[in-house]
Amino acid sequence: MNSTKKVLKSVFGYTSFRENQEEIIGAILQGRDVFTSMPTGGGKSLCYQIPGIILNGLTVVVSPLIALMKDQVDEARSKGISAEFINSTLSEDDSFRIYSDLYNSKVQLLYISPERLALDGYLDKLKEFNVSFIAVDEAHCLSEWGHDFRPDYLFLSKLKDKFPTTPIAAFTATATQKVQDDIIKLLKLKDPYIVRASFNRKELFYHVRNKSEVLSQIANYIKENPDKPGIIYRISRKDVEKTADYLQKKGIKAKHYHAGLTNNERTKNQELFNNDQIQVIVATTAFGMGINKSNIRFVIHGDLPKSMEGYYQETGRAGRDGLDSECILFYSPGDIVKQNFFINQIEDPTEQEKCKKNLNSLVKFATLNVCRRKQILEYFNEPYSQNCGNCDVCNNLTSKIEGTVDAQKILSAILRTNQSFGINYIIDIIRGADTEKIRSRNHHTIKTWGIGKDKDRHWWQGIITELIGQEKIYQDSEKYNILKITPKGEDILYGRDAFYINESTFTGKVNAKSREKLIDSTSGLDKILLQRLKDKRTEIAREKMVPPYIIFSDKTLKDMALLKPTTLDDFLLVSGVGEKKMEEYGPIFIPLITHL
């Protein structure tokens, strides 16, 4: 076994690397700069923690998440890694101890905030500690194109000047090329090893439901899933508070979170959630970056999000432990109207255009009869051809209506005009418009002219959007976006295949059939044992004053309940158990299993 694999098992308790981890670690150990874009939960932290353990000297981790640093450090220490953090919350005593440990080369991993690095002369001070590697977490904060731009991060451009031979690795969960280019340029990475991981989160089930009485819809979902921690996102602070109040009145342990609260209130509510002391947190998008809680089982959006990037980030907070989790979006056409109202007030025309585009892609996502996962991945330029089998569309849970005949009308109009015209012109033909353009081309004499008079423009627009979404036709971007028919479209046109549309594309009134409950992932396991293991974890967490997942993740406890280890050697086989945790917790947890 090579040394990285050994560390993976002995420190982290895992037997195999996830995709890309080994390559990233290898590149860092060879002294190369690295850029990594990987979805939330992909396993980025291990990619800098393992080099931190293996390399002689100090590994510096720059992270904007001050509120999270203590947890990150506790978590690393729980595995036997010598980790510390430096930020504005540190007491003088701790600070004194940490610097003395740094001078004595006793620290492997140092988490530090960008503000601290930006202090006058701080980089020179850092140079005294034999820095062997620098990791920049949440690196998209450097880019104005990202959604969390932080001016403090720009100071990180100086890292390469001060540490020209030290490898720097940037990590982000943002997928866009622009952000990637920005990060590489601003951090001055030299010939970086670039990893763009797949953004597919297989464990997430996406569904869109019709929004009617959203408060009771949300409450009902939570009542049906009483033990599962989850996040509820609402757009406005007012709705956040209203929703949290409503849930509390229904007896659900909920707190709210938005930028209008004081720092103290925010931290307190976040900690309650982290420590499993409340079930749900209702929040604006201010909540979230870097949430480390790994057992979030659902993320609900009570309103249409503003962009696919945001939606993807927010839903990505579910299922970080790799267990099945649900992402539910409540959609109503009324949300489009509301958002358009705000978009129309934006003064900068480019910004306004950008927001409209973003909104449009979300509307498509919510309404088209196309696999949700495919839509998300293609939005991030990742081709995805099959149906995922893990979303409402692929599981036939949406209300569909047949639109074969209407699709054939459109396809026929496209064909009879030699596949040379764009959307508006085709709709004009279908609706029998009497325009100069149509007459001059003699298109008022073709059979399909006026064949769709009975339905309005909006309807035909919807059919065309669905046809494009389902790849029956496409817009040729090199030729003024004229519509062309694909082989799949020909199958519809010639009656070899039927065409279904989502009812919500047109009316927004999906009678969402109640989805069969997800197969409870604990079925077959000994639930009593699992509960005992969880209780023990809570007890230890309280004693140590750390969040429970730092002791063991839910996934680890499930694995333990399944494997039922009765010796320390067997205990080490449980996923997520390394040597330190074996020694520390084996003797506590094994008796629960043997005395079952």
172 binds ligand ADP (CB under 6 A): no
Which position among 210, 285, 294, 315 is part of the footprint of ligand ADP (CB under 6 A)?
294
Half-sphere exposure of 354 (CA within 13 A, CB side): 9
Q: What is d(CA 83, CA 166) in angstroms, rounded to the nearest whole number?
A: 20
CB closer to ligand ADP, 44 vs 443? 44
Residue span binding ligand ADP (CB under 6 A) among the ranges 37-45, 142-150, 365-373, 519-527:
37-45
CB of 198 to ligand ADP, least distance (A): 13
CA distance 530 to 495: 54
Q: Name the token pair of 547.
A: 């969040």
Least distance from ligand ADP to the Cβ atom of residue 409, Å: 48
- Give the separation between CA 510 and CA 589, rounded to whole angstroms: 48
Please tell me whether residue 76 binds ligand ADP under the rule CB under 6 A.
Answer: no
- Residue 17 binding target from Zn ion, ligand ADP, none, CB below 5 to 8 Å by type: ligand ADP
Residue 248 CA, distance from chain mean position = 27
3-state helix/strand/coil string of 430-441: HCCCCCHHHHHC
Stretch that binds ligand ADP, among 16-24, 102-110, 183-191, 467-475 (CB under 6 A): 16-24
Amino acid symbol at 32: R
Sole binder of ligand ADP in the list 41, 114, 305, 452 (CB under 6 A): 41
Q: Report the candidate in 159, 283, 177 with the shortest Cα–Cα distance to residue 231.
A: 283
Alpha-carbon distance of 489 to 411, in angstroms, equals: 7
Rg of the chain over all Cα atoms, to the nearest angstrom: 27
Nearer to Zn ion, 428 or 503 (CB): 503
Among 7, 17, 139, 371, binds ligand ADP (CB under 6 A): 17
Smallest distance from Zn ion to CB 391, Å: 3
The listed partner (Zn ion, ligand ADP, none) that binds 394, CB under 5 to 8 Å by sort, is Zn ion
Residue 570: enclosing H or E segment and its boundaries? Answer: helix 568-571
Size of the chain, expressed as the number of residues it contains: 596
Judged by beta carbon distances under 5 to 8 A according to partner kind, the member of ligand ADP, Zn ion, none in contact with residue 7 is none
CA atoms within 13 A on the CB side of 404: 12
**From CA 485, how far away is CA 474, in angstroms rounded?**
7
Residue 46's binding partner among ligand ADP, Zn ion, none (Cβ under 5 to 8 angstroms by kind) is ligand ADP
Binding site for Zn ion (CB under 5 A): 371, 373, 388, 391, 394
Strand partners, 485: 473
Between residues 19 and 351, which has the closer beta carbon with respect to ligand ADP?
19
The residue from 148, 314, 321, 503 that contacts ligand ADP (CB under 6 A) is: 321
Calculate the alpha carbon distances from 596 to 41, 415, 528, 583, 590 in Å.
Answer: 33, 71, 9, 21, 10
Binder to ligand ADP among 44, 372, 373, 472 (CB under 6 A)?
Answer: 44
Please state the closest distance from residue 384 (CB atom) to Zn ion, in A.
9
371 binds, among ligand ADP, Zn ion, none (CB under 5 to 8 A by kind): Zn ion
If the CB atoms of residues 108 and 315 are measured against Zn ion, the closer one turns out to be 315
Told to check if 373 binds ligand ADP by CB under 6 A, we report: no
Q: At what angle do helices 349-367 and 372-379 cross, to 10 degrees?
A: 150
Decide: 293 and 273 in contact? Cβ < 8 Å: yes
Q: Which is nearer to ligand ADP, 421 or 552 (CB)?
A: 552
The answer to whether 40 touches 51, Cβ cutoff 8 Å, is: no
Residue 40 touches which member of Zn ion, ligand ADP, none, C-beta under 5-8 Å by kind: ligand ADP
CB 134 within 8 A of CB 163: yes
Beta strands in 66-212 (DSSP E): 83-86, 109-112, 131-136, 168-172, 193-196, 204-210
CB of 370 to Zn ion, least distance (A): 8
Phi/psi-derived region of residue 411, left when phi > 0, alpha when psi is between -120 and 50, beta in every other case: alpha
- From 77, 95, 97, select the one nearest 86 (Cα to Cα): 95
Q: Determine, following the binding rule CB under 6 A, whether residue 320 of this chain makes contact with ligand ADP.
A: yes
Stretch that binds ligand ADP, among 11-19, 243-251, 469-477, 563-571 (CB under 6 A): 11-19
- Smallest gap from Cβ 292 to ligand ADP, in A, equals 6
CB of 21 to ligand ADP, least distance (A): 6
**Binds ligand ADP (CB under 6 A): choice among 7, 27, 34, 42:** 42
Task: Give me the helices (H) in 331-371, please.
Answer: 333-343, 349-367
The smaller minimum CB distance to Zn ion, of residues 394 and 464, is found at: 394
Does residue 38 touch ligand ADP according to CB under 6 A?
A: yes
Element (H, E) at 270: helix 263-274
Report the nearest approach of ligand ADP to the CB of residue 481 (Å).
38
Handedness of CA 500, 506, 512, 516 (dihedral sign): positive
Candidates 45, 143, 315, 465; binder of ligand ADP (CB under 6 A) is: 45
Nearest approach, Cβ of 41 to ligand ADP (angstroms)? 5
Size of the site for ligand ADP (CB under 6 A): 16
Which segment (33-41, 96-104, 175-183, 384-392) binds ligand ADP by CB under 6 A? 33-41
Q: How many angstroms from the chain centroid is the CA of residue 286?
A: 15
Q: Which of 259, 266, 212 is nearest to 237 (CA)?
A: 259
Which of these segments, 13-21, 127-135, 343-351, 531-539, binds ligand ADP (CB under 6 A)?
Answer: 13-21
The residues binding ligand ADP (CB under 6 A) are 14, 17-18, 21, 38, 40-46, 294, 320-321, 553
